Amino acid sequence: MDARRKLLHVITRLDLGGAQQNTLFSVANHDRERYEAGLLAGAGGELDAEAERLTDADVHLVDWLRYPISPLRDLVAVFKLKRLLQDRSIDLIHTHSSKAGVIGRLAARLAGVPVVVHTVHGWSFNDTQSGPVRRFYIALERWLARFTDVLVTVAAADRDKGLEHSIGIASRYRVIHSGIDIQSYRRPASARWLTRKELGFEPDAVVVGTVACLKYQKAPLDFIAAAKLAIAGDPRLRFFIAGDGPLRPEVERAITAAGLEGKVRLLGWRQDIPELLAAMDLFVLTSLFEGLPRAVLQAMAAGVPVIATAVNGTPEVVIDGDTGRLIDPGQPDQAAARILELATDPVQALNLALNATKKLGGAFEIRTMVRDLDDLYGELLEKGDRSI
């Protein structure tokens, strides 16, 4: 008889993002002696093929879990997931992202799943929302927290924000940092020059890049505005964005309107992120809100100086003047000023990069993240067994 406990991770869709990549890694690397791991996600994500290659995991890519809010369809999804949880005799459900967090936790409640864990990859509410919308999401998170055993946050800032808004109680929170495979982002110098040549940058160019979905949260238009200002101050500067998304047409129009064709490149989704990071002189993230941005950790591991907005968990790793430079969200002029500062001060840029690499240590190693999750699950399941 298999004594392993059954886990199911639920995420809305496997798009090319940090939450999705970390969830896939967790499913693939949970301790197989202790757990039988599974994954359920809405079909149609860029990472579906990677999920389907997880031959030792119970993977479900379904058409009834989708992004747009649809009360009737979402109610159907709750009951479909409830049935699956009961049929599979799931011992612990771990939900990720806002929509999966609602549907997954409701289904788990109805199915009587013994342990419910939810990871906050950035809260569903933020300061850019209107008052009524923000209050609705806060109320929803408070209600869902009542039947969540543990709320995992990827940054201490999100734990503090949840408690500030009376979402759950302190003992129900656990901070487990998002992790990356640190060694995989360290590339030889040859990768730098080969990638820069492939991208068509001049040998003396100062290359500034970002890795981000072209969506409102990431503020790509601020990145373009910063590029315009910075290039006016230093014509050596060249920019690129690795990523795609709904704002691509607007970003393309902004590049054309600013006369930046050939100086700012949109690369679309790329799998060769370590090589792209190796080509950069500076990494810039202009997000309006975040959890703990995986792309920042990747840049730090690659030894690229980071300029990022001081939102949510970012200041926990980017310490201004020590491991990077922080700017205010929605202020492309600040981003441009920092870009020009570091582009003309390579000693400062190098020191920031070296300090950042040291700071990562083991706390942000992805295997540490999975080990911490395994231990958390064991603790919760043991507690549940004792209460029976």
Q: What ranges do the domains of the chain cover?
A: 5-179+365-387, 182-360
Nearest to 229 by CA among 201, 259, 202, 253: 259
Sheet architecture: strand order including 92-96: 58-62, 35-42, 5-13, 92-96, 115-120, 150-153, 173-175
pLDDT in the model for residue 387:
46
Residue 138 pairs in a beta bridge with none
pLDDT in the model for residue 385:
55
Element (H, E) at 95: strand 92-96
Its pTM stands at 0.88
* Number of helices and strands in the chain (H, E): 14, 13
pLDDT in the model for residue 274:
95
Is domain 182-360 annotated with CATH 3.40.50.1010? no
What is the third-level CATH fold of 5-179+365-387? Rossmann fold (3.40.50)
* Cβ atoms 279, 209 nearer than 8 A: yes
Please tell me the distance from the alpha carbon of residue 282 to that of residue 61, in angstroms, as a whole number. 37
Element (H, E) at 119: strand 115-120
pLDDT in the model for residue 67:
86
**Start-end of H helices in the chain:** 18-29, 48-52, 71-87, 98-111, 131-145, 156-164, 189-199, 220-233, 248-257, 273-279, 294-301, 332-343, 346-360, 366-387
First to last CA, the chain: 21
Question: Fold match between 5-179+365-387 and 182-360?
Answer: yes
Residue found by looking up tokens 């864990």 in the block: 117
Low-confidence ranges of the chain (pLDDT < 50): 1, 386-388
pLDDT in the model for residue 140:
95
Nearest to 311 by CA among 219, 241, 242, 205: 219
